[in-house]
Chains A and B, each alone.
Chain A
Amino acid sequence: MKFDIYDFSVLTASIHQLLGEMMGETAVMITEMVIVGIVFLTLFAILGLALVYAERKVCAFFQQRLGPMRVGFWGTAQTVADAIKLLLKEPLMTKSADKFLFNLAPFIIIVASFMAIAAVPFALGLQAIDLDIGVFYVTAVSSIGVAGILIAGWASNNKYSLIGAMRSGAQIVSYELSVGLSLLTIVVLTGSLQFSEIIESQREGWWIFRGHIPAFIAFVIYLIAGTAETNRGPFDLAEAESELTAGFHTEYSGMKFAFFFLAEFVNMFIIAAIGATMFLGGWMPLHFGGFTAFNEVMDFIPPIFWFLGKTAFLIFMMMWFKWTFPRLRIDQLLTLEWKYLLPINLINILIMAFIVLMGWYF
């Protein structure tokens, strides 16, 4: 395969070797961890800035506006300016807030998304840790975030925050199921929970094409449930600006608020990245059986661009949802999950299992 020339494992292996020559085994491990940590921190910052900018521009164009235009060329430095502003802001706290929990909550949320992003395969050989239970791991750690939201709502000592947090709790716990089940639909096809293997299995074509209609249904459900899990519109009940002012982060300001904000965007990225990996072939180039020439041209585009492109597409879809639909009410939100998404999902997974059993997929 042509794209093997872009294999990052060569680079990582050489770094590993270099470090190995200089220090002992434990030291190498610690240094590598630190390097990975720094890389991800930088990635977090860049992702946050880029996604916030993208969201503001996309939203503006949906609404026939121009969006930020003043700071930098076409407002590109706007988010940097915003970040500086947030850094300089005074961190406020309500008088009778639970100080410890109040300060802890943003970190729990950010750590949860930090943990989840570790398993995301960015490109061939570019993955912090390739767990053999990758899918399971991501669904597990991404739901730690809800604890942060609940704590934030409770510790703020504000009724709006509490209502928002309780809503968010109910929402994430329910939608977790749909996310998990729709991912399972693909796992049935691949027979593996490891991301690298799932991607490898899509060498001949992406699951969304090869898995017939059930895969497509699973994809749609994943997109809906994933949007819900990130607390984004039309499922932004936890914040519900027009009802609860700002929901669970009403009382947060400055950098602590920025953490919530950042976490929301990084979570969106993770959901999109996992979706791209599971359904759209991750960093695999677009291949059609038979068109060898076409496939070879596709192979020349480095895998990292394929991955980012697919993720960007999914993020755009999620923004499209947010800037079009009205918000659901809490009971309708739960109705949608328990009466529609979950039953459809269960039947879908059965059909998929049947298809796999009969070997009807290509």
Chain B
Amino acid sequence: MSVKELHKATQSQEYFVNMGPQHPSTHGVLRLLLTLDGETITKVEPHLGYIHRSIEKMCEKDSYQQIVHLTDRMDYLSCHMNNEAVCLAVEKGLELEVSDRVKVIRTIMSELTRLSSHQLWWGVMGMDLGAITSFLYGFRDREMITDIFEETCGARLTMNYNVPGGVMFDIPANFQTKVKEFITHFRKKLPEYDQLMTNNIIFRNRTEGIGILTKEDAISFGVTGPSGRASGWSNDIRKSHSYSAYDRVDFKEIIRTEGDSFARYKARIDEMWESMNIIEQLIDNVPEGSCREKTKAVIKLPKMEIYQSVETARGELGVYINSDGKKNPYRVKFRSPGFSNLNALNTMAKGGKIADLVTIMSTIDLVIPDIDR
């Protein structure tokens, strides 16, 4: 046996593992084709399409009011922001200025949605890392927000609260007290999150230095949201293309430079604090006014193209509407944050272990229906 042959024979062999579409930590029906060398990942290839419902195509047959409720089903954890994005786009097309009251209500609801999304993410992240208890704690706090949602719009998850021109119902009488109650509760509970997970040495070791995404990579992959900001890329739509009432509140854009899993984790935790700040600034001064501008029963946009983006809990959601003057859009395209964020997975996970892949996946906070649409 020559040296070369010997070398070849002793080389370890790569093998493939299908992670998903039914796997506990892919959070849905994502299929990852892993190329492994032992437990070390050499390649991750996401395969999509297991929950494709052709929402974009369905939008082409729907009226503009009907499109809104479909977006609930994309990123169901930031459904309010998705609704808002479509409504803002339609209002832009109609050149309709909504009242201040609507703007403030939308902002508060968006931030509550962001909080609830991050709470769920925190719980699920703990579960992915093996600390199942955090899952229940995350849900416990999320429950208070869902209760507020239920009282405001009658649904807990797929809310369909925004309509072009405003919001479907006015906020209920006890909305303010309920929200304030939640904020005081959660300000007490959030440090507990740190105590249980953030400071835990095992957790630190599992996240620090894992799945590093450089700023350049983040920009070229279009990784937005807390994941992108953890790599040092300032991309908060709420700051750069302010919409609704974000221009009248004072909040920090959370930017971290490390770009590892812990930075992404911490960015979200800090964002929760910021969200609470935003809500507190607005909750006591919701302006008077109508909560819904009158629109025609059949909305027709002029022949035009509109692009409107909002900051969801996962990053930039863009809505592109191409209208040809009819009551249905000619083409609708959603730029979903999850899809772009997922693209960076291979770059981040290469060279890590299977356990690292799980960490990375939970820190980029995937919601599969958002990716597949």
Contact = CB atoms under 8 A, between A and B. Distances in A.
B126 A159 contact: no
Contacts of A241: 24, 130
B130 A325 contact: yes
B140 A236 contact: no
B53 interface: no
Contact of B205 (A59, A63, A245, A329): A329
A297 B202 CA distance: 44
A65 B135 CA distance: 12
A326 B353 contact: no
A327 B129 contact: yes
A269 interface: no
A329 B130 CA distance: 10
A332 interface: yes
Contact of A329 (B25, B137, B356): B356
A329 B353 contact: yes
A324 to B, nearest CB: 6
A167 B354 CA distance: 12
B15 A64 contact: no
Nearest to B24: A242
A323 interface: yes
Given A64-B140, A243-B358, A326-B202, A331 B353 contact: yes
Interface string B30-54: 0000000001000000000000000
A328 B359 CA distance: 11
A324 B355 contact: no
B206 interface: yes
Given A63-B136, A243-B358, A326 B39 contact: no
A233 interface: yes
B30 to A, nearest CB: 14
Contact of B133 (A167, A236, A323): A323
B354 A243 contact: yes
Contact of A324 (B133, B140, B205, B353): B133
A240 B353 contact: no
Interface string B115-130: 0000000000011111
A175 interface: no
Most chain A CB within 10 A, of B129, B131, B132, B353, is at B132
A64 B192 CA distance: 14
Interface string A320-341: 0001111111111000000000
B132 A323 contact: yes
B39 A236 contact: no
Contacts of B133: 59, 62-63, 323-324
A321 B322 CA distance: 56
A233 B134 CA distance: 14
B197 interface: yes
Given A242-B25, A325-B131, A330 B202 contact: no
13 contacts: A65-B136, A159-B17, A236-B130, A242-B25, A242-B127, A243-B358, A323-B132, A326-B197, A326-B200, A329-B205, A329-B353, A330-B355, A332-B206
